[in-house]
Amino acid sequence: MSMTYVIGSECVDVMDKSCVQECPADCIYEGLRSLYINPVECVDCGACRIACRVDAIYYETDLPDSELAHLQDNAAFFAEVLPGRAAALGEPGGAATLGAVGVDTPLIAAMPARNIPAH
Binding site for ligand F3S (CB under 6 A): 5, 7, 11, 14-19, 22-25, 27-28, 35, 37, 42-48, 51-52, 54, 56-57
The three-class DSSP label of residue 5 is strand
Least gap, CB of 30 to ligand F3S (angstroms)? 8
Closer residue to ligand F3S, CB minimum distance, 51 or 103: 51
CA angle 56, 62, 66 (to 5 degrees): 65
User: Smaller CB distance to ligand F3S: residue 31 or 87?
Assistant: 31
Work out how close the CB of 86 gets to ligand F3S at its nearest, in angstroms, rounded to a whole number: 26
Least distance between ligand F3S and beta carbon 21 (Å): 9
Cα maximum dimension of the chain? 38
Q: How far apart are CA 18 and CA 61, in angstroms?
A: 22
Counting beta carbons within 10 angstroms of the beta carbon of residue 24, is it exposed (0 to 12), middle (13 to 18) or buried (19 or more)?
Answer: exposed
DSSP structural state of residue 44: -
Beta carbon nearer to ligand F3S, 22 or 80? 22
Residue number with CB closer to ligand F3S (57 or 82): 57
What type of residue is 87? A
Bridge partners, 58 (sequence order): 6
CB of 50 to ligand F3S, least distance (A): 9
